[in-house]
């Protein structure tokens, strides 16, 4: 994989993970301590962040740094995307229900 391909993969993965978390670019940029303009450039694959910035982006997205570079992270077809989104929704609903039960039922 050449340098441009690495940047493109990184950008697609950050955008995918950001969207999956429900973050806007503004939210992720704030959490990672970077500008929205820089984040947008990274997501488009035109800029590459320094290692410390990569670490902050990964931390804000609650993933390991290596996951930002995985070539197969973004689903290639809608069926896989729907499956992953469904799993995420179920997980978040279970967490929310658990909190409700803890708060009101003790």
48 vs 52, 56, 62, CA distance in Å?
Answer: 12, 14, 20
pLDDT at residue 46, rounded to an integer: 93
Q: How far apart are CA 102 and CA 106, in angstroms?
A: 5
**What's the alpha-carbon Rg for the chain, to the nearest Å?**
16
User: Could you tell me which of 82, 47, 78, 43 has the C-alpha nearest to residue 61?
Assistant: 43
Asked whether residue 79 carries a pLDDT value surpassing 70, the answer given is no
pLDDT-derived band at 68, boundaries 50, 70, 90: very high
- Is 70 exceeded by the pLDDT of residue 10? yes
The domain ranges of the chain are: 1-72, 75-106
More confident residue, 30 or 99: 30
Mean pLDDT score across all residues of the chain: 87
Per DSSP, the three-state class of 62 is coil
Q: What is the pLDDT of residue 88?
A: 79
pTM of this prediction?
0.69
- The better pLDDT of the pair 80, 5 is held by 5
Specify whether domain 1-72 bears CATH 1.10.260.40. yes
pLDDT for res 60? 97
Number of helical H runs and strand E runs in the chain? 5, 0
Q: Is the pLDDT of residue 87 over 90?
A: no
């Amino acid at each position: 994989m050449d340098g441009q391909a690495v940047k493109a993969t990184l950008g697609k993965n950050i955008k995918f993970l950001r969207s999956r978390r429900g973050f806007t670019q503004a939210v992720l940029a704030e959490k990672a301590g970077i500008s929205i303009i820089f984040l947008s450039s990274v997501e488009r694959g035109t800029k590459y962040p320094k290692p410390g910035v990569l670490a902050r982006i990964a931390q804000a997205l609650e993933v390991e740094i290596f996951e930002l570079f995985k070539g197969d992270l973004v689903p290639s077809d809608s069926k896989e995307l729907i499956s992953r989104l469904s799993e995420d929704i179920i997980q978040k609903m279970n967490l929310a229900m658990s909190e409700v039960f803890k708060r009101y039922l003790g």
